[in-house]
Amino acid sequence: MRREFLPRAKIALLPAPTMSLRLALLPLLLAPVAACAGPAATDMLVDFLAIPASAGLGAIQRIDRAPYRGAKVGQDLVPLYMYEGRHVYLHATRVGYKFSDIPEHGLEVFLDYRYEGYPTAHRPKVLGGMASRDAGTQAGAAYRGRTQFGNFDAEILHDANNLSHGTEWRLSYSFDLHEGRWHFRPIWTVARRSANLNNFYYGVRPTEAAPARPAYMPGSGTDWTSALYGYYEVSRRWRLLGGVGVTYMSDRVRASPLVDDRPQVGALVGAAYDFGSHKPYSEPGQPLAVRLYAGRATECNFLPALALQCGSTRTGDDTRIAGVDFGRALVERVNGWPLDFYAYAGVLMHDERGLQADGLQLNAQIKAYYYGLPWDRYVRTRIGFGAGFSLAQRVPLAEVRDQARRDRDTSRLLNYLDPTLDVNLGDLVGRKGLKDTVLGIGISHRSGIFGSSQLLGNINGGSNYLYGFIETKL
């Protein structure tokens, strides 16, 4: 199941070379600047991997070194959530809307995460005393062209957080190579960055100047990138992913007293599982699952609560949650197993009991349900496990208190886990009219994946809420 637009571009449009010849040609193709895993590398890899009308889960490990003097090689975990709809898509850190499903010429708008900014851990000495420059969200628009001569992409991105107020234009060319289970995409990108963008991340303000760090503003500039991405089909569903490369930043950025004058080399490795073709949300008769729930904070850790070894909701603050989720099935009975995958999105209200302002929380997740239990013929029972993202209007009090005790940072955006256990209400009371209604319990869990993800603010910690719910299909 490969993403097919038009017949794949061949080198110089000659008859398809053998795999050995293709591999021999790759170093020559990449010789000008080697290859790159730059700021947009994660999305470029997932775009190559994406299959129309599919959904999947996985993880990517980014390995690179920030361009600042004295920075160490870092590793960053990126949770990989993939959804490729007719118009809406989710590619790891990017969510977008396609105005047309015609692959040869596509226009889209999107929001994406910018992997740039000062290191949050092991900050180099050269950045000492400077105000932090954080990664942020960027809004963008893109044109995608797919022809027999290769893939052409043009993007414009602008800071959506009002951090840098910067803009970036990108032009890319790539082509795809396929041989058996191996798939490769070399790609070359030129990026024109505005003065605001470069000055924010690589400039020194007059108030930050020091004897070894004079005031400096690099201004606008052009970066050059070359990349090689690939994946290997371990099985029909499993993919091993990879990418390697280098970016040459503009001369004036490399002249900054903050920056090492060297190419920016990086790599990506990971794995992903493809659920298979999902059901379009517009499919006639596709039911909508609606879940109402409420619960309280717990001081139980996630794993003991998951194993039903801890279930106390006695906390000093007695904070509470209530929310609603909406979802639809993506894939039912995967490979004929009693296993379904759903997509959910919803809003949750934090009741902070007057100790801080109440706040909303947006959750989005892909959730697996297993229901092949021995007593299923008598009372249908589902074990669910969801994974996704959670964005809080303000950091919940439970996390503020817990992180303050351990002198750790907090973040509004964290990973979201949602394990549940439910039983069919119609089976319990003997009413067929309630066959699509379930009662259950769950854990609403926010976490930073042990501080391993820049996307999540390198946060080590989170919160747990135990809740009860009722869910039905409309």
Q: Which CATH class is domain 11-277?
A: mainly beta
Domain map (residue ranges) of the chain: 11-277, 289-473
| 169-219: pLDDT as tens digits | 999 999 999 989 999 999 999 999 999 999 999 999 999 999 989 999 999
pLDDT one-digit tens code per residue, 432-447: 889 889 999 999 999 8
Domain 289-473 coded CATH 2.40.160.20: yes
Quick count: other Cβ atoms within 10 Å of Cβ 190? 13
Predicted confidence (pLDDT) per residue in 37-88, tens digit: 444 566 777 777 777 777 788 888 888 888 999 988 877 788 888 888 778 8
Cα–Cα distance for residue pair 187/30, rounded to 1 Å: 9
Instruction: Report d(CA 115, CA 40) in Å as an integer.
Output: 8
DSSP string, 421-464: EEEEHHHHHT-GGGTT-EEEEEEEEEE-TTTT-GGGTT---EEE
Closest CA to 113 of 50, 191, 196, 42: 42
DSSP string, 184-240: EEEEEEEEEE-HHHHHHHH-B-GGG-BTTB--B---SEEEEEEEEEEEEESSSSEEE
- Nearest by Cα to 151 from 173, 184, 183, 171: 173
Residue 400, pLDDT > 50, answer yes
Tell me how crowded residue 343 is: count the other CB atoms within 10 A of its CB.
24
Alpha-carbon distance of 366 to 327, in angstroms, equals 9
The reported pTM is: 0.77
* pLDDT band for position 8 (cuts 50, 70, 90): very low
Q: Do the domains spanning 11-277 and 289-473 agree at the CATH topology level? A: no
